[in-house]
A and B are shown apart, each in its own frame.
Chain A
Amino acid sequence: MSTPPSSAATASTPPSSAATAGRVRPAQRRPFPLVRHSLALMVRSLIKLRRTPEQLFDVVATPVLFMAIFVYVFGGAISGSPKEYLQFVVPGLLAQMLAFVAVPIGINLNTDITKGIFDRFRALPIPRAAPLVGAVMGDIVRYSTTIAVTLGFGLLVGFRITTSIWAAAAAVALALLFALCMSWISVWFGLIARTPGAVSGILYTLIMPLTFASTIFVPASTLPGWLQGFVRANPLTHLVGALRGLLTGGAVSGPLVWTLAWCAGFVVVFVPLALRAYRRRT
């Protein structure tokens, strides 16, 4: 403390009395509050990310690790040659990484809540969704990094995009959209779970079977019949189908429509659930 204890309180008067007349909220309510407040809260996430860039460690390391394991350890056994399998598995790994990368947001939100910072937001006259939307938007950096690292490392070890630059761009956009929509599941769990540990426990338990019981690593035809029904309904199967089509050729429209439908479904179901949980959380 720089000044004597009494100076701040007794000597000076509050700065506001001199500066402003009246005691109303100083600013006029401005239009598009959800957009502006979400952006402000997104900046908050980005400031934190800049301060601790090691938060990005997992989104860089995990794709590299998985790629190496699947291509060099399992690749030969699954599909004859690593080269061939690479073309098959890179879009798949991209889908898997997108499923994983949505988990931390729920954990972070849960931590925020236990620290009380959300109490401050909830007592402010801002749209209820803003802190959640802001957090999701702040995560775009993580999602983009995941996509860049997965595709980049894939290209480095021999993956080739055999379609067009536009199709590849569409694949990236689709991947980003999917991650943004799916992250609302994580947001919801983050708001209803009691501890950050519980959030990651639940989500990884859900995601693991989803990623393996899909066409991420093997074609559906190689799976037992009873599993095929599940695999065909799995949103990750559709996502990976669309990504394969866009990156290495093949049917696009079918899986793309299904993927978009799943994205819409995530938003329609989990955004309201998350908002409700956010309001109820005490």
Chain B
Amino acid sequence: MADTSEIVIEAEGLIKNFGRTRALRGVDLSVRRGTVLGVLGPNGAGKTTAVRIFATLIEPDGGHARVAGYDVAKHPQKVREAIGLTGQYASVDEDLTGRQNLVLIGMLLDLRLGEARARAAELLDWFDLADAADRIAKTYSGGMRRRLDLASSLVGHPEIVFLDEPTTGLDPAKREEMWGVVRSLVTEGSTVLLTTQYLEEADALADEITVIDHGRVIAHDTPDGLKRIVGARTLEVRPADLADVERVDRILRDVAPGASVEVVRAGILAVPVADESAMTEAVARLAAQGIGVIELSLHLPSLDEVFFTLTGQPVDDDDGRPAGAGRPSAPGATAGDAR
């Protein structure tokens, strides 16, 4: 097993400006070998900028970044030997086939032609692209491109992998699949830094989560710790029969004493709960009283809710998403280490 005490990705006071846009205003983060760090943030938070600095594509204006023990500004070539990057937007060569894309990367990584071909075939199989391997990448679907892109970044067995919003734009099944890929990378001993806009994704994959907003770190914790800070999950129930709303309401009050039950959408009741046991409890009681339900789910807070809790204000992003969309229902809107 990898020695998880060694820090292999590290940023200290990272600063980057684009003209007058202050993309990063002093970001600190660190990732230990063999672990996954989730970098969570809304549009324009600076996630991509940070990843591009780590991957030696741009240089920081201030602060330091070290990857695999090397400063990205001083020894970029050493860093490049250790990393694989899957950027936010697929960077595959659309005019080559999937296989040619991978063989080319293999050649550029100094594999011999035979080795490069073998590695390409392995990856195409693994990423379920074997059937499309000899088709030109222009004809690939968005999800296929995304997977080819990820495969391209794994050709050289990199010890450190950067994934910038790897599941954005994937359907739920493909998202699960991508999560599986990330998990097996870690099993293999890779260190992974991934960015995401979903707490759920960070929770599913990451050992630790760094939350950034407006180029600053606003929280850093384990998923469990973060969930404690941002408050409970939400249990949502939609009774099959609207006449049962009253009874469901009473059950929810019982399983989550003290919390307020809200009607979030027509016929759907929601209540903040502390942990999964509330769900089991609710299911048991609903069954005991013979109440049919169409929908019953346990949600982590959305990114909007996380931010509302951490910053006390709704997400205002650069990309014109309506600020505060999805009013937070999580309690405790004043978190400890938030600014």
Report A's interface with B, CB cutoff 8 A: 1-3, 5-10, 12-17, 19-20, 23-30, 33, 36-37, 40-41, 43-44, 47-48, 51-52, 115-126, 130, 282
A25 and B188 form a contact (CB under 8 A): no
Contact among B80, B123, B185 for A15, CB-based, below 8 A = B123
Which B88-136 residues have a C-beta within 8 angstroms of A?
89-96, 100, 104-105, 107-112, 115, 119, 122-123, 125-128, 130-131, 136
A16 and B105 form a contact (CB under 8 A): no
- Asked if B272 lies at the interface with its beta carbon under 8 angstroms from chain A, I say no
- CB 8 Å contact bits of B221-250 with A (1 = contact, 0 = none): 000000000000000000000000000000
- Asked if B334 lies at the interface with its beta carbon under 8 angstroms from chain A, I say no
Q: Name, among B57, B136, B173, B179, the residue most crowded by chain A CB atoms within 10 Å (CB to CB).
A: B57
A27 and B128 form a contact (CB under 8 A): no
B177 and A6 form a contact (CB under 8 A): yes
B125 and A125 form a contact (CB under 8 A): no
Say yes or no: A51-B136 contact (C-beta < 8 A), given A2-B128, A16-B122, A117-B92.
yes
- What residue of chain A has the Cβ atom nearest to residue B94's Cβ? A115
A23 and B190 form a contact (CB under 8 A): yes
Q: CB-CB < 8 A to A16: which residues of B? A: 122, 154, 157, 188
A8 and B180 form a contact (CB under 8 A): yes
- What residue of chain A has the Cβ atom nearest to residue B172's Cβ? A5
Contact among A2, A23, A48, A126 for B131, CB-based, below 8 A = A2
B127 and A8 form a contact (CB under 8 A): yes
Q: CB-CB < 8 A to A20: which residues of B? A: 157
Contact among B57, B93, B128, B185 for A8, CB-based, below 8 A = B128
**Closest Cβ of chain B: how far from A108's Cβ, in Å?**
10
Q: CB-CB < 8 A to A51: which residues of B? A: 95, 136
18 contacts between A and B (CB under 8 A): A5-B173, A8-B128, A9-B178, A10-B177, A15-B126, A16-B154, A27-B110, A30-B110, A36-B107, A41-B104, A48-B95, A51-B136, A115-B94, A119-B85, A119-B87, A121-B108, A124-B80, A124-B109
Chain B's interface size range is 35 or more
Contact among A10, A17, A130 for B180, CB-based, below 8 A = A10
Q: CB-CB < 8 A to A17: which residues of B? A: 187-188
Contact among A2, A25, A115, A120 for B152, CB-based, below 8 A = A120
**Closest Cβ of chain A: how far from B139's Cβ, in Å?**
12
Q: CB-CB < 8 A to A48: which residues of B? A: 95-96
Q: CB-CB < 8 A to A120: which residues of B? A: 85, 87, 91-92, 105, 152-153
Report B's interface with A, CB cutoff 8 A: 18, 52, 55-58, 77, 80-81, 83, 85, 87, 89-96, 100, 104-105, 107-112, 115, 119, 122-123, 125-128, 130-131, 136, 152-154, 156-159, 173-174, 176-181, 183-185, 187-190
A-B contacts at CB below 8 angstroms, number: 145
Q: How far is the CA of A234 from the CA of B122 in the complex (A)?
A: 55
Q: CB-CB < 8 A to B125: which residues of A? A: 15
Q: How far is the CA of A26 from the CA of B109 in the complex (A)?
A: 8
Q: CB-CB < 8 A to A10: which residues of B? A: 177, 180
**Closest Cβ of chain B: how far from A92's Cβ, in Å?**
35
**Closest Cβ of chain B: how far from A18's Cβ, in Å?**
9
Q: CB-CB < 8 A to A47: which residues of B? A: 95-96, 100
Q: How far is the CA of A15 from the CA of B185 in the complex (A)?
A: 11
- What residue of chain A has the Cβ atom nearest to residue B103's Cβ? A40
Q: CB-CB < 8 A to A12: which residues of B? A: 126
Q: CB-CB < 8 A to B127: which residues of A? A: 8
- What residue of chain A has the Cβ atom nearest to residue B159's Cβ? A23
Q: CB-CB < 8 A to A6: which residues of B? A: 173, 176-177, 180
B56 and A14 form a contact (CB under 8 A): no
Say yes or no: A116-B96 contact (C-beta < 8 A), given A8-B126, A282-B57.
no
Q: CB-CB < 8 A to A119: which residues of B? A: 57, 85, 87, 91
Q: How far is the CA of A207 from the CA of B141 in the complex (A)?
A: 41
